[in-house]
Amino acid sequence: MMSGIPAASVDGIPVTQLQGVGSQKAARLAKLGIHTVQDVLFHLPLRYQDRTRIIPIRQLRAGDSAVIAVTVTQAEVQVGRRRSLMVQVTDDTGHLWLRFFYFSAMQRSQLQPGAQLRCFGEVRRGPHHLELVHPEYQIITADQPISMNESLTPVYPTTEGLHQLSWRDLTEQALARLDQQMPLPELLPDAVLQRLQLPPLPEAVRFLHRPPAETAPHTWTDQPPPAQQRLAFEELLAHQLSLRQLRACQQAHPAPGVATTLQHLADQLRASLPFQLTRAQDRVIAEIRADLASPHPMLRLVQGDVGSGKTIVAALIAVAVIEAGYQVALMAPTELLAEQHRHNISTWFTPLQLSVGWLSGRHKGKRRQQVLQALVQGELTILVGTHALFQQDVQFARLGLVIVDEQHRFGVHQRLTLRNKGGALQPHQLIMTATPIPRTLAMTAYADLDLSVIDQLPPGRQPVQTVVLSAQRREQVIQRLGAHCQQGHQAYWVCTLIEESEVLQCETAEASAISLQQVLPDLRIGLVHGRLAAAEKEQTMRAFKAAELDVLVATTVIEVGVDVPQASLMVIDNAERLGLAQLHQLRGRVGRGAQASFCVLLYQSPLSALARERLAVMRATSDGFAVAQKDLELRGPGEVLGTRQTGEVRFRIANLLRDQTLVPLAQSVADELLQDYPAIVPTLIQRWLGDKTRYSSV
């Protein structure tokens, strides 16, 4: 016997207890993540059919699904390209054809003129008239009247071998148990439900599976019904709670305390800078330093638009941790960016006599061993690198702080791996992102982190002027690029490619570099792409930074982080192929110096509606948050967070776009539950996240 789970809870009732679910069907259901009766109840319809009313033929449009009540007027077998039985039917308002490609002799004899039918099907435009192809139909006889459905008919998302009729049967059985066995216990306190005016759970579930005839589901995208909000809210709440728990777990560990008075190295570093920090940078540094002083691990996300100066903030924090006697790991998502960080950190740290280590995926053999040894012996104060830092054999002597740059590329799990490299003490974690995540998303995806925002750009920056031009104007653009460089400025030429083929993208970049050089023979043109040797890339980047090159032709490898303030023109070829986030990142490479900067988005016609809208957004605004909000609307939350790769934040019911307004509510109710009703928290998390919370105990 299972103990601990109340016998009457659907949580515990395996789906095989429903009639007709044998091992084969159970296996198919498992593919959809459905193991229990509760899972069945949370498997909501994609859409609904209206079989509650008879629709006059005159009102039908192609694409509608509808019930019609008709009389057969003609029936004939057509022998065209495909043999088919064509049945003309009529009601008082018009006529249409039923088309059957497969039919039996029985059907032929039934569907004779005069027969009365009730049909359901999707209306299509035929060669001459509207048609229903293979409709469901019933012959009406006087002694056998048919009643209409009382609720809308659900259509479920499904997998091979599970038909809609099975789903209707499964959900019917599950819903029946709602009455008999109280299977979905209400977990939310009455006070909360009443305040938020949400219906009780069983009622909400029943409504969504069998909406009453008068509801209009097609309006739900704009105005979700309370039933749906009820479920989405509970799911968002459970998600919030699980992240809070994760956070509480992590913060329970001891961490190295770094006293705020340790300012010696930081003061020296500040003094060596050619600029003053912005107020926003100072504020964020103070927030971080306050965290570090506590003996529990910091978990903080620093958001700042491209060019807001996150790197120096990270460096100033790093030296404080080093001064306290600990090591720092600084991790970047691409080799190019890691290399640039190494360059900056070395420039800043060497005068302070701090040793900087560097590890990338390309380091092999002896060189790698040397770095690892110096690290574990505590000779290195900071290790800069790519995801190579996650590897098992990378061991620190006294890891005190992990800095992850451009966080959206790494998932929670990866962060946790690094955290575990700290030995007895948990290192602090500082996560930096330039992806301005809309607030609701940030609150959901990063509920386990505190948030600091660098909401100010260094002074003197000029907004980038963006123009959108058809590729037919390419020659003109190239001439303009030439003139720009003749005046002593520098420029990027960015190549994109439709498929995710790095090889092809690199070839395109090579070809572009050659053709630009032919048209503009006087310019010094460099090339970076992902397939060049690290040393070669590095050298080219350095030359560009030192203004020994006029133009840098590049693939999208320069998307993140690359910082060359004098470059003030960027041309993005085939810009229509890129998403908003990527375009914004790329454009962020210019506009970093004091001179006026330009971004030219070259597109290939014809533009899709979506691409047109993206380019219009880019032209209209350079505010990262506005771009991100638009991106969320155009692409949906999964894509924005890059969760396709990381598998996080996948909701069964909630939709972060549609349910945005529920997120702050879920947050405040999460506080309330933790405070006043802690006993229901684990049950709520288990219901919605189940095994997915496993990593909280890593």
Q: Which of residues 22-81 bind ligand ADP (CB under 6 A)?
A: none
Question: How far is C-alpha 514 from the geometric centre of its chain's CA atoms?
Answer: 37
Q: What is the DSSP letter of 408?
A: G
> Please, what is the minimum distance in Å from the beta carbon of residue 599 to ligand ADP?
16
Question: For 291-355, where are the E strands, in sequence order?
Answer: 299-304, 327-331
Stretch that binds ligand ADP, among 166-174, 209-217, 222-230, 308-316 (CB under 6 A): 308-316
With beta carbons less than 8 A apart as the criterion, state whether 415 and 440 touch: no
Q: Does 587 bind ligand ADP (CB under 6 A)?
A: no
Using CB under 6 A, pick the residue from 436, 458, 591, 624 that binds ligand ADP: 458
**What residues have CB less than 8 Å from 273, skipping those under 6 apart?**
312
The values of phi and psi at residue 33, to 5°, are 80, 20
Contact letters for Mg ion, residues 553-592 (x by CB under 5 A):
--------x-------------------------------
481 vs 484: CA distance, rounded Å: 5
> Please, what is the minimum distance in Å from the beta carbon of residue 388 to ligand ADP?
21
Which CB atom, from 544 or from 603, has the smaller least distance to Mg ion?
544
Question: In degrees to the nearest 10, what's the CA dihedral of 121, 123, 129, 133?
Answer: -40
Q: Does 563 bind ligand ADP (CB under 6 A)?
A: yes
385 vs 643: CA distance, rounded Å: 23
Q: Does 422 bind Mg ion (CB under 5 A)?
A: no
> Please, what is the minimum distance in Å from the beta carbon of residue 620 to ligand ADP?
22
Q: Does 234 bind ligand ADP (CB under 6 A)?
A: no
DSSP lists the bridge partners of residue 494 as 554, 572
Stretch that binds ligand ADP, among 19-27, 102-110, 560-568, 645-653 (CB under 6 A): 560-568
Which option in ligand ADP, Mg ion, none does residue 277 bind, with CB closer than 5 to 8 A by kind? Answer: ligand ADP
Size of the site for ligand ADP (CB under 6 A): 19
Which CB atom, from 422 or from 561, has the smaller least distance to Mg ion?
561
454 vs 311: CA distance, rounded Å: 12
Using CB under 6 A, pick the residue from 592, 614, 630, 687 that binds ligand ADP: 592
Residues in the chain: 698
Q: Which residue is nearest to Mg ion (CB)?
A: 561
591 vs 573: CA distance, rounded Å: 19
Which option in ligand ADP, Mg ion, none does residue 101 bind, with CB closer than 5 to 8 A by kind? Answer: none
Beta carbons within 10 angstroms of residue 661's beta carbon: 10
Q: Does 304 bind Mg ion (CB under 5 A)?
A: no
With beta carbons less than 8 A apart as the criterion, state whether 179 and 205 touch: no
Measuring CA to CA, how many Å separate 396 from each of 295, 358, 378, 391?
19, 13, 7, 12
Which CB atom, from 559 or from 573, has the smaller least distance to Mg ion?
559
Which CB atom, from 455 or from 510, has the smaller least distance to ligand ADP?
455
The values of phi and psi at residue 693, to 5°, are -85, 0
Q: Does 309 bind ligand ADP (CB under 6 A)?
A: yes
> Please, what is the minimum distance in Å from the beta carbon of residue 261 to ligand ADP?
24
Q: What b/e string do you get for 41-58 counting C-beta neighbours within 10 Å, with b at 16 or more?
A: bbbbbeebbbbbeebebe
Using CB under 6 A, pick the residue from 193, 277, 416, 543 that binds ligand ADP: 277
Using CB under 6 A, pick the residue from 38, 245, 278, 466 that binds ligand ADP: 278
Which option in Mg ion, ligand ADP, none does residue 471 bind, with CB closer than 5 to 8 A by kind? Answer: none
With beta carbons less than 8 A apart as the criterion, state whether 154 and 168 touch: yes
DSSP lists the bridge partners of residue 526 as 552
Which option in Mg ion, ligand ADP, none does residue 565 bind, with CB closer than 5 to 8 A by kind? Answer: ligand ADP
Q: Does 690 bind ligand ADP (CB under 6 A)?
A: no
Using CB under 6 A, pick the residue from 217, 565, 642, 690 that binds ligand ADP: 565
Which CB atom, from 327 or from 435, has the smaller least distance to ligand ADP?
435
Measuring CA to CA, how many Å separate 551 from each of 478, 488, 490, 525, 562?
11, 11, 6, 5, 15
> Please, what is the minimum distance in Å from the beta carbon of residue 311 to Mg ion?
5
621 vs 589: CA distance, rounded Å: 16
Which CB atom, from 297 or from 307, has the smaller least distance to ligand ADP?
307
The values of phi and psi at residue 163, to 5°, are -90, 165
Q: Does 434 bind ligand ADP (CB under 6 A)?
A: yes
Which CB atom, from 101 or from 275, has the smaller least distance to ligand ADP?
275
Q: Does 458 bind Mg ion (CB under 5 A)?
A: no
Q: Does 550 bind ligand ADP (CB under 6 A)?
A: no
Q: What residue ranges bind ligand ADP (CB under 6 A)?
A: 275-278, 281, 304, 306-312, 434, 458, 561, 563, 565, 592
